[in-house]
A and B are shown apart, each in its own frame.
Chain A
Amino acid sequence: MSTTAIDTQVALNGTLNRSASPPRSAGVQVTDYDNRQTVGKITVDNPKMTCREVNVYYGEKHAIKNVSLDIGANEVIAFIGPSGCGKSTFIRCLNRMNDTIPSARVTGLIKLDEDDIHAKEIDVVQLRARVGMVFQKPNPFPKSIYENVAYGPRIHGMVNTKAELDDLVRESLERAGLIKEVEKRMLEPGTSLSGGQQQRLCIARAIAVNPEVILMDEPCSALDPIATAKIEELIDELRENYTIVIVTHSMQQAARVSQRTAYFHLGDLIEIGDTDQIFTNPRHKLTEDYITGRFG
């Protein structure tokens, strides 16, 4: 596949009329270790989110370097890469969670549907309602299970009656596959659940506001295999209604749940493509090393 590099260029020039990335010199092998240019097709047919030339700085530190990629509607895309490569940093750009870190500075274009998420008329409150997030460590609020799920609908004024809210909470818990376990204990504190249940509670909490995209930053890293399997199953079901971005350290997990995979390394997006292709036939040396376990 010798067209990949061209794909990248086209995509860049097509969406942005800039050429910040230097043209590749002909002598460099696509698969070479030194190549920091993204390998693979970054665009999709029906993108939900588009990111172009995203850079993130923490003070002086350049944590994300010129990353461009599309996230397709109703797909699960996995971000993989060694620790510290910037996966969390990048995923936090997608709902502007980096705004909460004073030293962080984000440049570049990120679009949700047709809206530039950094545009003035896009409110961060609205953006985060549309792009939900689930964190690495389950972080239920110190409230009842019910109140945890009802939190989002309440603050956004999504429902008008108690009955509506009850329905919404139940449905969200149902979608998160938690309803059977908590039906009888809705008023117990969220922290009384097991780790895996807590994480599913957080997922229920996120889908209660009916977001368009759900970001998951290593959602299973604090869980045992059985709880992990449940969440993976859940992700598969959720794909029907939502676009899902998942960061994971587990190659198997990425292979199991995602359709596309992006490999990050030291702030660069090294390779992106269909999950099958990435895992069976990586085209960048770094990707190959990583998935064969020679790295990270």
Chain B
Amino acid sequence: MQPFLLLTLLLLSAGAYYLGRRRAFAVADGHVRNLHSLPSFYGSYAALWCGLPALLVFALWAAAQPNLVVNWVVAGLPPELRDLPPDRLNLVINDLKNLVGGNFVASASDPVMVEAAERYRRLQAIGNAALWVVVLSLAIAGIAYAWRAISPALRARNRVEGVINIFLIASSTVAIFTTIGIVLSVVFESLLFFRQVPVAEFLFGLQWSPQTALRADQVGSSGAFGAVPLFAGTLLISGIAMLVAVPIGLMSALYLSEYATPKFRAFAKPALEILAGIPTVVYGFFAALTVAPLIRQIGTAVGLHVASESALAAGLVMGIMIIPFVSSLSDDVINAVPQSMRDGSYALGATKSETITRVLLPAALPGIVGSILLAISRAIGETMIVVMAAGLSANLTANPLEAVTTVTVQIVTLLTGDQEFDSPKTLAAFALGLVLFVVTLILNIIALRVVRKYREQYE
């Protein structure tokens, strides 16, 4: 239904463009020279008048209508239903929507519901019809206005360019609004959470069990929200990942930039970067079904107890994922060290490895530290690998063979499955999200600073 309306609108705008151009020719007595702008601008002018206001109204209407309809239907329900608590009412409304959608629901035989569904359907039909009428008349009114407004003196180009300018500026603010949206959403929900669970308990508590109450008088009463085990688990897994990724990534970068022949480099660099393109869910699958059992087997063979969801498996695979990240960032950094440094060292009789370890690495150190920070922030925020390969139980341990859980795992567990909004359980996820956002943001800002400073040094 609505796609059709949009299509119609599009066609109308195209027509308006054509009309606007014709009109421009007409008012100019066929001499384009008489016009202020090129005829196509008059066409665009008309098309904009036709499409833009109609589109705005359409968007607002489409956004508002479902809620309005629901409200009206609810208002028409018998009082005993209308005055149900919000969550029960929501269930009723869901049933209603299913009924309207033609799906079978348990309450289908309830006459009240059937009648409400009928009302719902009617309101919806009326709304849709009204939408058509309003949008189409607006579009036609727009054309009419443009038709009358077009005259040789009309500065069509300036008007059209003004609209485009506004569009450009508005687009560039989307990124800002995204950030604001992120900040507001996590901060707002986190504040609600911290009203129920004190910040100190969240940040420094050693017990994490959001499902069960430990004591009856427990704040928040649905469980313990001490996030330290999650932070520790996140650090443990990221630490293992960095232990894998930094040496391999760095040595690869050094080899590729200092030793490899151009041919080998042309092959190996993109081949390594394949690792960066593989979706993380694939790594998660690999970790959970191949690496974790393997580690467990090896552990059992040498007489160690290894949890089936060990931190080691998740960390190892996460490390593999981060290798190309470290290597390509370090590669950039190493290549930014001027050739004259290498020349100076070689001219003193240093070997390649001496030059690398004693001149290149110290010179590139700030940049390498920056890229490692970026990689750490990547590791901390990584979700799928840990969701699939790390555990759920919040153990406070430094043993990589045990199962630990991470911040991201808990966010996912708390927010998937059945959830009531505004319970401390779901709000806790946002508090964790806030921590995650702040930590990665700080890491990124520091890293970008360091790298930028480093680059300026050699410019």
Query: Which residues does chain A contribute within 8 Å of B349, judged by CB atoms?
Result: 124-129, 152, 155-156, 209
Q: Is B354 an interface residue (CB 8 A)?
A: yes
Q: Is B72 an interface residue (CB 8 A)?
A: no
Q: Top 8 A-B pairs ranked by shortest CB distance?
A: A129-B349, A128-B349, A133-B347, A139-B340, A139-B344, A152-B348, A142-B363, A125-B349
> Bound state CA distance, A116 and B348, in angstroms?
19
> Bound state CA distance, A241 and B100, in angstroms?
101
- When the two chains form their complex, are residues B346 and A128 in contact, meaning their CB atoms are under 8 A apart? yes
Instruction: Report the nearest A residue to B359, measured CB to CB.
Output: A141
Q: Is B358 an interface residue (CB 8 A)?
A: yes
- Check A137/B348 contact, CB under 8 A, given A142-B363, A155-B354: no
Chain B interfacial positions (CB closer than 8 Å to A): 262, 338, 340-351, 354, 358-359, 362-363
> Bound state CA distance, A236 and B346, in angstroms?
26
- Check A141/B340 contact, CB under 8 A, given A133-B347, A135-B347, A151-B358: no
Q: Which residue of the partner chain, among A95, A127, A141, A155, contacts B344 with CB atoms under 8 Å?
A: A141
Minimum CB–CB distance from A103 to chain B (whole Å) comes to: 11
Instruction: Report the nearest A residue to B340, measured CB to CB.
Output: A139
> Which of B342, B345, B347, B362 is most buried by chain A, counting CB atoms within 10 A of its CB?
B347
Query: Which residues does chain A contribute within 8 Å of B359, judged by CB atoms?
Result: 141-142, 151
Q: Is A100 an interface residue (CB 8 A)?
A: yes
> Bound state CA distance, A162 and B359, in angstroms?
21
Q: Which residue of the partner chain, among B346, B348, B362, contacts A142 with CB atoms under 8 Å?
A: B362
- When the two chains form their complex, are residues A151 and B347 in contact, meaning their CB atoms are under 8 A apart? no
- When the two chains form their complex, are residues A205 and B343 in contact, meaning their CB atoms are under 8 A apart? no
Q: Is A24 an interface residue (CB 8 A)?
A: no
- When the two chains form their complex, are residues B340 and A151 in contact, meaning their CB atoms are under 8 A apart? no
> Bound state CA distance, A95 and B347, in angstroms?
8
> Which of B262, B349, B354 is most buried by chain A, counting CB atoms within 10 A of its CB?
B349
Q: Is A143 an interface residue (CB 8 A)?
A: yes
Minimum CB–CB distance from A208 to chain B (whole Å) comes to: 9
Minimum CB–CB distance from A12 to chain B (whole Å) comes to: 30
Q: Which residue of the partner chain, among A126, A128, A142, A143, contacts B347 with CB atoms under 8 Å?
A: A128
- When the two chains form their complex, are residues A100 and B342 in contact, meaning their CB atoms are under 8 A apart? yes
Minimum CB–CB distance from A4 to chain B (whole Å) comes to: 34
Query: Which residues does chain B contribute within 8 Å of A125, judged by CB atoms?
Result: 349-351
Query: Which residues does chain A contribute within 8 Å of B338, judged by CB atoms?
Result: 139
- When the two chains form their complex, are residues A100 and B348 in contact, meaning their CB atoms are under 8 A apart? no
Tell me the interface secondary structure of chain A in the complex: helix
Q: Is A282 an interface residue (CB 8 A)?
A: no
Extra inter-chain contacts (12) besides given A125-B350, A141-B359, CB under 8 Å? A102-B262, A124-B349, A125-B351, A135-B347, A139-B340, A141-B344, A142-B359, A142-B363, A151-B350, A152-B348, A155-B350, A209-B348
Instruction: Report the nearest B residue to A206, measured CB to CB.
Output: B348
Instruction: Report the nearest B residue to A102, measured CB to CB.
Output: B262
Minimum CB–CB distance from B277 to chain A (whole Å) comes to: 30
Query: Which residues does chain A contribute within 8 Å of B342, judged by CB atoms?
Result: 100
Q: 8 Å CB contacts to B: which residues of A135-177?
A: 135, 137, 139-143, 151-152, 155-156
> Bound state CA distance, A184 and B444, in angstroms?
39
> Bound state CA distance, A126 and B351, in angstroms?
10
Query: Which residues does chain A contribute within 8 Å of B350, judged by CB atoms?
Result: 125, 151, 155
- When the two chains form their complex, are residues A97 and B358 in contact, meaning their CB atoms are under 8 A apart? no
Instruction: Report the nearest B residue to A99, measured CB to CB.
Output: B346
Minimum CB–CB distance from A135 to chain B (whole Å) comes to: 6
- When the two chains form their complex, are residues A135 and B348 in contact, meaning their CB atoms are under 8 A apart? no
> Bound state CA distance, A241 and B340, in angstroms?
27
Q: Is A202 an interface residue (CB 8 A)?
A: yes
> Bound state CA distance, A128 and B341, in angstroms?
15
> Bound state CA distance, A95 and B348, in angstroms?
10
Instruction: Report the nearest B residue to A134, measured CB to CB.
Output: B347
Q: Is A132 an interface residue (CB 8 A)?
A: yes
Minimum CB–CB distance from A215 to chain B (whole Å) comes to: 8
Minimum CB–CB distance from B317 to chain A (whole Å) comes to: 36
- When the two chains form their complex, are residues B341 and A205 in contact, meaning their CB atoms are under 8 A apart? no
> Bound state CA distance, A23 and B269, in angstroms?
53
Query: Which residues does chain B contribute within 8 Å of A97, judged by CB atoms?
Result: 343, 346-347
> Which of A135, A139, A209 is most buried by chain B, counting CB atoms within 10 A of its CB?
A139
Query: Which residues does chain B contribute within 8 Å of A95, judged by CB atoms?
Result: 347
> Bound state CA distance, A124 and B347, in angstroms?
10
Minimum CB–CB distance from A42 to chain B (whole Å) comes to: 26
- Check A135/B340 contact, CB under 8 A, given A155-B350, A155-B354: yes
Minimum CB–CB distance from B352 to chain A (whole Å) comes to: 10
Q: Per-residue CB proximity of A82-103 to B under 8 Å, as 1/0? A: 0000000000000101001010
Minimum CB–CB distance from B20 to chain A (whole Å) comes to: 61
- When the two chains form their complex, are residues B347 and A137 in contact, meaning their CB atoms are under 8 A apart? no
Minimum CB–CB distance from B260 to chain A (whole Å) comes to: 11
- When the two chains form their complex, are residues A141 and B341 in contact, meaning their CB atoms are under 8 A apart? yes
Minimum CB–CB distance from B456 to chain A (whole Å) comes to: 13
- When the two chains form their complex, are residues B348 and A132 in contact, meaning their CB atoms are under 8 A apart? yes
Instruction: Report the nearest A residue to B352, measured CB to CB.
Output: A100
- When the two chains form their complex, are residues A155 and B348 in contact, meaning their CB atoms are under 8 A apart? yes
Minimum CB–CB distance from A186 to chain B (whole Å) comes to: 17
Query: Which residues does chain A contribute within 8 Å of B363, judged by CB atoms?
Result: 141-142
Query: Which residues does chain A contribute within 8 Å of B347, judged by CB atoms?
Result: 95, 97, 128, 132-133, 135, 206
